[in-house]
Amino acid sequence: MTYFVDLTPYTYLERHDEDGRGPSDEPLLNVGWLDASHPFPTGAPPGGLMPALTELAKVRVRQTRGHHYCEICIRDLGDDAREAIREGMIARESAEFEVRGDNVAYAAPQLLLHYVDAHGYLPPAKFRAAALRSTS
80 has pLDDT over 70: yes
Residues 95-104, mean pLDDT to the nearest whole number: 93
Q: What are the extents of the domains in the chain?
A: 28-134
Distance of alpha carbon 109 from alpha carbon 90, whole angstroms: 16
- How deeply is 45 buried, as exposed, middle or buried, from its count of CB atoms within 10 A (0-12, 13-18, 19+)? middle
Contact 89, 69 (CB under 8 A): no
pLDDT of amino acid 4: 95
pLDDT of amino acid 18: 44
Mean pLDDT estimate for the chain:
88
For the entire predicted model, the pTM comes to: 0.86
H-assigned helices in the chain? 49-56, 71-77, 81-86, 112-119, 125-134
By residue count, the chain amounts to: 136
pLDDT, one tens digit per residue, over 22-62 is: 455 789 999 999 999 999 999 999 999 999 999 999 998 98
pLDDT of amino acid 16: 54
Distance of alpha carbon 102 from alpha carbon 100, whole angstroms: 7
CA dihedral of residues 62, 67, 68, 70 (deg, nearest 10) = 120
Of residues 20 and 39, more confidently modeled? 39
